[in-house]
Amino acid sequence: MAVSKERKAELIKQFGKDEKDSGSASVQVALLTERIKGLTEHVKLHKHDYHTRRGLLMLVGKRRNLLGYIKRQNVETYRSLIKSLGIRDNIQ
């Protein structure tokens, strides 16, 4: 469920400005997407784990807010980010 150190470093390198850029919005969205994928698989197996479901919904909401911020700042960056992460475009 947690993102491994190696995978986290890969995502920071791919979406960040450099290896130490873990705070930019695009890196945060990429890391949240990895966590969401892991939790989604967990919730599929354990249908009655409502605490994890609530945490998953909170992560999805946080990612949605960050995506809205990225879209307001630069639409091209937003489009390339959602395409590379495989996220649907439903932010108004």
pTM for this prediction: 0.92
Domain membership of residue 91 (yes or no) is no
- H helices present in 1-92, as ranges: 5-15, 25-45, 50-73, 75-85
4-54 tens-digit pLDDT: 999 999 999 999 999 999 899 999 999 999 999 999 999 999 999 999 999
At 65, which CATH number?
1.10.287.10
Question: What span, in angstroms and rounded, lies between the C-alpha atoms of 68 and 90?
Answer: 10
Instruction: Answer whether residue 92 shows pLDDT above 90.
Output: no
- Helices 75-85 and 25-45 cross at an angle (nearest 10°) of 30
Domain membership of residue 31 (yes or no) is yes
Domain membership of residue 64 (yes or no) is yes
Q: What tokens appear for 10 in the block?
A: 């890969």
**How many domains are contained in the chain?**
1
- What are the distances in angstroms from CA 53 to CA 3, 31, 45, 49, 90? 18, 18, 12, 6, 21
Domain that holds residue 64: 5-85
Cβ contacts of 68 within 8 Å, gap of 6 or more: 91
Give the pLDDT band (50/70/90) at residue 1.
Answer: low
Domain membership of residue 48 (yes or no) is yes
